[in-house]
């Protein structure tokens, strides 16, 4: 069939969008889908069709029914000086966003950090979780099954780790609710964000438990993972990388760069981030974690929905004996990777390369750790800048000045 015949069949719904690749390659299929949509809707999709990534690669790994791309402006902040176990040096931060003033804000925070000696970032915990729910015949059966699981952790670990040479099972957390068993299985997944790896490993364990114990597999994810939803569990136990980044802001930097005082910033964190968040029953005791995480995730090909968990966390600020300001961010649930998913797409790959973290680290896992420490410092910069702007009462002025 020629192009026009394929388009007509799409319009008549005689051919489904996903079936196009039986006849043409991915790039041509995207073009024909656009042309069919233009004919049906009467609206041109010229800009949607402008992109540089490999269409075949994208359709195999990232997208179905490809028609093009949604372009998001990308800016750069920094560099920011980071002192971590994996990240050591000055790093530029790619930020893809449509929110005016965000890059400028993070950039100002980087300046404050650099003039205060740099950010100290640490990954405190690393563990991707997947939590199936299984049904027992009754509570006695559930109790006996859990006893078996506790006594056979080594065997379950062997089964899980047989699914990938990059995966290590670290823990199985368990709860019984009536006759329902929830098993939160926690893994280290190298440089990958690891959700797919954790899912495959957990599936193998569940199949074993079904055959051994007569449990019924209800769902491979029982919502205790907790994936892409706000939760106290992830806030407390963490999921992905748990990162802390801190800096001692000198009084001179606070007054000179941020145009406020350490006392004013500490009070703002207390009243805004803590009392205000408590009043709202928010799990985000911070000013704008999600802003920075979303912009970095979009720029680097992360799963953007994990901004939900990344937005949960704590900003703290306290005066030192010398009158300076110890400012820190704690991100309990930062899910990211430097291989897999969208990290192999052209522009996302370049953004990761800009920070020196694309691909697998040597040894494996070190690039993702390095990336997490850089993201922690970037979030720290964003928090410092916004709290500083609120302290100086120039937030609205900054947006007006930048024509936002």
358 is catalytic: no
Q: Is residue 235 part of a domain?
A: no
Q: What are phi and psi of 43, to 5 degrees?
A: -115, 135
Task: Convert the pLDDT of each residue in 166-223 to its tens digit.
Answer: 999 999 999 999 999 999 999 999 999 999 999 999 999 999 999 999 999 999 999 9
pLDDT band at 393 (very low <50, low <70, confident <90, very high): confident
CATH number at residue 357: 3.90.770.10
Alpha-carbon dihedral angle through residues 96, 368, 331, 249, given to the nearest 10 degrees:
-80
Residues 184 and 205 in one domain: yes
Q: Is residue 121 part of a domain?
A: yes
Please give the Cα distance from 136 to 215 (Å, whole number): 5
Please give the Cα distance from 293 to 226 (Å, whole number): 18
* DSSP string covering 349-395: HHHHHHTT--S--SSTTHHHHHHHHHHHHHHHHHHHHHHHHHHHT-H
The region that residue 177 occupies, defined by phi over 0 for left and psi between -120 and 50 for alpha, beta otherwise, is: beta
Task: Convert the pLDDT of each residue in 278-331 to its tens digit.
Answer: 999 999 999 999 999 999 999 999 999 999 999 999 999 999 999 999 999 999
Q: What is the CA radius of gyration of the chain?
A: 24
* pLDDT at residue 357 is higher than 60: yes
CATH number at residue 192: 3.30.70.420
Residues 167 and 303 in one domain: no
* DSSP string covering 147-175: HHHHHTHHHHHHHHHTT-TT-EEEEEEEE
Q: How many domains does the chain divide into?
A: 3
The answer to whether 122 touches 244, Cβ cutoff 8 Å, is yes
Residues 90 and 57 in one domain: no
Residues 287 and 364 in one domain: yes
Q: What is the pLDDT averaged over residues 87-94?
A: 98
Containing domain of residue 394, as a range? 74-126+241-401
Tokens standing for 171? Answer: 């823990």
399 is catalytic: yes
Task: Convert the pLDDT of each residue in 239-250 to its tens digit.
Answer: 999 999 999 999
Q: What is the pLDDT averaged over residues 17-43?
A: 95
Query: What is residue 325's three-state secondary structure?
Result: strand
Residues 166 and 253 in one domain: no
Q: Is residue 231 part of a domain?
A: no
Residues 266 and 363 in one domain: yes
Q: Is residue 167 part of a domain?
A: yes
Higher pLDDT, 361 or 400: 361
Q: Provide the pLDDT for residue 88.
A: 97
Please give the Cα distance from 150 to 145 (Å, whole number): 9
Residues 211 and 295 in one domain: no
Q: Which of 99, 171, 216, 267 is catalytic?
A: 99
Of 219, 253, 278, the position where a domain reaches its end is 219
Q: Is residue 69 part of a domain?
A: no
Q: Provide the pLDDT for residue 1.
A: 81
Of 18, 33, 61, the position where a domain reaches its end is 61
Q: Provide the pLDDT for residue 399.
A: 52
* pLDDT at residue 398 is higher than 70: no
274 burial type by CB count under 10 A (0-12 exposed, 13-18 middle, 19+ buried)? middle
303 is catalytic: yes
Q: Is residue 233 part of a domain?
A: no
Mean pLDDT for all residues in the chain: 95
Beta strands 119-130 and 74-84, pairing class: parallel
Name every residue whose Cβ is closer than 8 Å to that of residue 111 and which is 6 or more positions away in sequence.
Answer: 257
Residues 289 and 196 in one domain: no
Residues 115 and 142 in one domain: no
Q: Is residue 307 part of a domain?
A: yes
Residues 260 and 288 in one domain: yes
The model's pTM is 0.94
User: Which residues share a beta bridge with 168?
Assistant: 188
Residues 107 and 194 in one domain: no
Residues 29 and 101 in one domain: no
Task: Convert the pLDDT of each residue in 127-182 to its tens digit.
Answer: 999 999 999 999 999 999 999 999 999 999 999 999 999 999 999 999 999 999 99
Q: Is residue 353 part of a domain?
A: yes
User: Which residues share a beta bridge with 129?
Assistant: 186
pLDDT band at 65 (very low <50, low <70, confident <90, very high): very high
């Amino acid at each position: 069939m020629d192009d026009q015949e394929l388009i007509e069949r799409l319009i008549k719904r005689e051919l489904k969008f996903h079936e196009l690749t039986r006849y043409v390659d991915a790039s041509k299929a995207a073009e024909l889908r656009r042309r069919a949509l233009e004919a049906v809707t009467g609206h041109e999709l010229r800009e949607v069709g402008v992109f540089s990534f490999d269409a075949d690669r994208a359709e195999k790994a990232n997208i179905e029914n490809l028609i093009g791309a949604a372009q998001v402006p990308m800016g750069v902040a920094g560099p920011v000086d980071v002192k971590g176990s994996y990240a050591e040096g000055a790093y530029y931060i790619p930020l893809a966003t449509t929110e005016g003033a965000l890059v400028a804000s993070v950039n100002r925070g980087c300046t404050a950090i650099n003039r205060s000696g740099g950010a100290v970032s640490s990954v405190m915990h690393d563990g991707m979780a997947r939590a199936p729910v299984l049904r027992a015949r009754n509570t006695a059966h559930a109790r006996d099954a859990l006893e078996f699981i506790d006594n056979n952790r080594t065997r379950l670990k062997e089964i899980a780790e047989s699914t990938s040479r990059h995966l290590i099972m670290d823990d199985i957390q368990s709860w019984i609710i009536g006759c329902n068993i929830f098993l939160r299985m926690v893994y280290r997944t190298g440089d990958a964000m690891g959700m797919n790896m954790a899912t495959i490993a957990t599936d193998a364990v569940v199949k074993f438990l079904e055959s051994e114990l007569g449990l019924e597999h209800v769902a491979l994810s029982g919502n205790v993972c907790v994936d892409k939803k706000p939760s106290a569990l992830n806030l407390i136990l963490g999921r992905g990388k748990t990162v802390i980044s801190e800096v001692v802001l000198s009084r001179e930097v606070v007054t000179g760069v941020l145009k406020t005082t350490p006392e004013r910033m500490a009070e703002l964190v207390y009243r805004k981030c803590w009392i205000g968040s408590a009043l709202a029953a928010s799990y985000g005791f911070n000013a704008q974690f999600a802003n920075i995480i979303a912009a970095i995730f979009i720029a680097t090909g992360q799963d953007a929905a994990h901004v939900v968990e990344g937005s949960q966390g704590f900003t703290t600020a306290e005066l030192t004996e010398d009158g300076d300001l110890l400012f820190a961010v704690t991100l309990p649930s930062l899910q990211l990777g430097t291989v897999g998913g969208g990290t192999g797409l052209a522009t996302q790959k370049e953004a990761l390369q800009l920070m020196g973290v694309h691909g697998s680290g040597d040894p494996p896992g070190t690039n993702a750790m390095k990336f997490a420490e850089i993201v922690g410092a970037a979030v720290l910069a964003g928090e410092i800048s916004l709290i500083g702007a609120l302290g100086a009462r120039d937030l609205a002025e900054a947006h007006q000045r930048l024509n936002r």
